[in-house]
Amino acid sequence: MPYRETDATRRRAEERRAGLLRAARELVARHGFAGAKITAIAQECGTSVGLVYTYFDNRDELLATVFRESASHELTAVRSATAAADPAAHARLDAFIRTFAGRALRGRQLAWSLLFEPVSPIVEAERLTYRRAYVDLAESILRDGIADGTFAPQNVGLSGAALIGAISESLVGRLNPVGYDGLDALEDAVIVDAIVTFCCRALGASTSVPTSRQETP
Binding site for its own copies (CB under 8 A): 34, 116, 118-125, 127-128, 131-132, 135, 152, 154-155, 157-159, 161-170, 172-173, 180-183, 186, 190-191, 194-195, 197-199, 201-204
**CB nearer its own copies, residue 22 or residue 131:** 131
- How far is it, in rounded angstroms, from Cα 119 to Cα 44? 22
Q: In whole angstroms, how close is the CB of 182 to its own copies at the nearest point?
A: 6
Angle at Cα 108 formed by Cα 181 and Cα 216, nearest 5°? 75
Taking the least distance from each CB to its own copies, the nearer of 40 and 45 is 40
Residue 197 Cβ vs its own copies, minimum distance, rounded to whole Å: 7
**Closer residue to its own copies in complex, CB, 49/125:** 125
DSSP-assigned letter for residue 37: -
Q: Cβ 25 to its own copies, closest distance in Å?
A: 19
Distance CA(97)–CA(214), nearest Å, equals 16
Q: How far apart are CA 167 and CA 144, in angstroms?
A: 20
Report angle CA 190, 191, 194 to the nearest 5 degrees: 85
| Min dist. Cβ of residue 46 to its own copies (A) | 29
CA atoms of 214 and 174, how far apart (whole Å)? 19
